[in-house]
Amino acid sequence: MSKTIVIYYSRTGENYVNGSIRKLEKGNTEVCAEFIRDAVGTDLFKVDTVTPYSDDYMTCIEEAKVELKKAARPELKEYLDNVDAYDTIVVAAPCWWGDAPMAIYSQLDRLDLTGKTIAPLMTHEGSGLGSFEKSLSKKYPDAKIVKGLAVHGADAAKSEDTVSSWIKKIAK
Ligand SMILES: Cc1cc2nc3c(=O)[nH]c(=O)nc-3n(C[C@H](O)[C@H](O)[C@H](O)COP(=O)(O)O)c2cc1C
């Protein structure tokens, strides 16, 4: 089996779930990242920003919009230096304005992804994968981006079978 790591970002606090705002104790993407780990025994790396995004949903929406507009690369608490030990990198993120949070790219930009297989997973409230796959292909042309998986955030806890069969086809 290929050696796989999941690099993910996930936010607790207020989020939009099926049309109303709810406070999440554990982020939807983290739930999916753990399903991937359980399915194929991957390592997990959680991206965490030095300056946290707001717990308040509406404030976070604005913060994310500003970062997306200026292609910000917010500073992270910790970085992976390399992914030499891995063949497959799952990049799991919530959909923020159609793309991943810029914090994900703060990490990916620092890695040599040449020849790596990148498998995108995105949790969302209606946008699916948005432009995530396209963003990854454009930013990291030396990696092979495989078909991603979109998981409706509100259904994250029920997505284990879907997530598991998706990753088992990729991380063989
Ligand atoms: C800042 C922000 C922007 C969002 N933008 C979108 C969006 O463009 N499309 C969408 O379907 N969902 C959007 N959502 C909803 C999240 O993608 C969804 O709730 C996701 O499952 C959250 O994952 P997490 O709990 O791992 O952070 C947004 C949520 C936030 C906080």
Q: Return d(Cα 80, Cα 86) in angstroms, integer.
A: 12
Nearest CA to 137 out of 76, 91, 85 is that of 91
Atom 29 in ligand 1: which residue has the minimum CA distance? Answer: 96
Q: Are 116 and 87 in contact (CB under 8 A)?
A: yes
Distance 160 CA to ligand 1 centre (A): 19
Residue 139 has which token pair? Answer: 């930013």
CB under 6 Å to ligand 1: residues? 10-11, 15-16, 24, 27-30, 57, 60-61, 64, 94-98, 123-127, 153
Which ligand 1 atom is at minimum distance from the Cα of 156? Answer: 21
Q: Are 43 and 8 in contact (CB under 8 A)?
A: no
24-70 tens-digit pLDDT: 889 999 999 999 999 999 999 999 999 999 999 999 999 999 999 99
3-state secondary structure of 66: helix
Give the pLDDT confidence score for residue 54 in this predicted structure: 94
pLDDT in tens, the chain (172 residues): 569 999 999 999 888 888 888 888 899 999 999 999 999 999 999 999 999 999 999 999 999 999 999 999 999 999 999 999 999 999 999 999 999 999 999 999 999 999 999 999 999 999 999 999 999 999 999 999 999 999 999 999 999 999 999 999 999 7
CATH class in words for 4-163:
alpha beta
Give the pLDDT confidence score for residue 1 in this predicted structure: 57
Distance 16 CA to ligand 1 centre (A): 7
